[in-house]
């Protein structure tokens, strides 16, 4: 039989190596591209989801607070509330020269309820005049500010020292600082109950954590232990707050007209509210340009032309206590 010589294969040729390197590079680029795209999509989905969660929480909190405005437990008339003579406040938040203004449930001149006070598209000067506890440069101008006076939704158990409570029997009410004073300036006959007093002022702050971080944030000034007014922030990325108040002009408990900037006299008959929030992500999307225009209530049209995702959130709410009093003819 003829013999055959076998040649051994010692390695790849240069051409084969170049083809293999080209294929490997292409595969690596494809894998990296998929990873980068997936990572970007995940980051942006997470960013948008956090925006939606924060805005939803902020809207629910605002809706609940506004619906409770003017709630003084069994006591229906705000002018029946009297602050105890010994009641004071460390940091108040009213107009300049006003003393213990946060405890005032009715206007000293007109006797009208101060359950809700509204500033429409507020300027720094306007908020500084009305609310002394605001710091310079804190307010995001052109957004609404709303003050809400109310008590907690449930009767108090043990009284916490330094907190302010409303003691009422449904006819009269006394605001006092716990523990209950030995010699209060007014008496509340039994049967009676105590309710924590919770006034608050909602607004948009220019920053989240430190001045200059440029993350607009929904915050509130609240009455805390001391007692004193302090700041709490609820949701980052809230860029605008607009509220329209439904005014009942026929005393049937239903709104006849919605006003963005009601007077004190008009807001006595505010039985409903429409709440609008403009929220944005806290991080930019480098692959996105926001070329939309946002029109919210009577706020000027806003065309951001930046790389933040945004969404408008809104809801309507009934202001139960004022609505009930209107229906009863008060």
Q: 157-189, pLDDT tens digit by residue?
A: 899 999 999 999 999 999 999 999 999 999 999
Assigned token pair, 302: 């806003």
| Residue 244 DSSP label | E
pTM assigned to the model = 0.87
Helix (H, G, I), strand (E, B) or coil at 321: helix
Could you tell me which residue, 5 or 38, shows the higher pLDDT?
A: 38
Q: Which among 216, 208, 206, 242 is positioned nearest to 310, based on CA atoms?
A: 216
Rounded CA separation 330/327 (Å)? 8
**Averaged over 232-256, what is the pLDDT?**
95
Closest residue by Cα to residue 165 from 267, 258, 81, 67: 81
The count of other CB atoms within 10 Å of the CB of residue 52 is 15
- How confident is the model over 142-158, as a mean pLDDT? 95
- Residue 213 to residue 112: CA distance in whole angstroms: 40
Mean per-residue pLDDT over the chain, rounded: 90
**Is the Cβ–Cβ distance between 159 and 179 less than 8 Å?**
yes
Q: Assess contact for 125 and 142: CB atoms under 8 A.
A: no
310 contact partners, CB below 8 Å, separation of at least 6: 239, 278, 279, 280, 281, 290, 292, 294, 304
């Amino acid at each position: 039989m003829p013999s055959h010589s076998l040649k051994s294969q010692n390695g790849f040729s240069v051409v084969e190596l170049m083809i293999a390197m080209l294929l490997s590079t292409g595969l690596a680029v494809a894998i990296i591209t998929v990873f980068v795209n997936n990572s970007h999509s995940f980051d942006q989905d997470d960013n948008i989801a956090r925006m939606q969660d924060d805005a939803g929480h902020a809207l629910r909190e605002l809706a609940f607070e506004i619906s409770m405005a003017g709630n003084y437990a069994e006591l229906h008339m705000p002018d029946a509330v009297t602050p105890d003579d010994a009641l004071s406040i460390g940091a108040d938040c009213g107009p300049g020269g006003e003393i213990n203004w946060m405890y005032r449930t009715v206007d000293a001149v007109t006797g009208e309820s101060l359950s809700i006070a509204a500033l429409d598209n507020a300027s720094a000067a306007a908020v500084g005049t009305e609310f002394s506890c605001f710091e310079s440069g804190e307010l995001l101008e052109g957004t609404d500010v709303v003050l809400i006076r109310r008590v907690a939704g449930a009767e108090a158990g043990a009284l916490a020292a330094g907190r302010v409570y409303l003691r009422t029997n449904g006819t009269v009410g006394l605001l006092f600082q716990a523990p209950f004073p030995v010699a209060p300036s007014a008496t509340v006959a039994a049967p009676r109950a105590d309710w924590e007093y919770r006034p608050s002022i909602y607004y948009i702050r220019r920053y989240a954590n430190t001045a200059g971080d440029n993350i607009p944030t929904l915050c509130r000034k609240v009455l805390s232990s001391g007692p004193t007014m302090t700041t709490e922030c609820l949701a980052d990325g809230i860029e605008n707050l607009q509220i329209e108040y439904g005014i009942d002009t026929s005393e049937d408990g239903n709104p006849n007209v919605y006003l963005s900037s009601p007077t004190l006299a008009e807001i006595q008959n505010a039985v409903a509210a429409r709440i609008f929030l403009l929220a944005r992500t806290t991080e930019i999307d480098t692959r996105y340009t926001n070329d939309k225009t946002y029109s919210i209530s009577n706020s000027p049209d806003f065309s951001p032309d930046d790389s933040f995702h945004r969404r408008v959130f809104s809801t309507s709410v009934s202001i139960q206590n004022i609505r009930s009093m209107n229906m009863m003819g008060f």
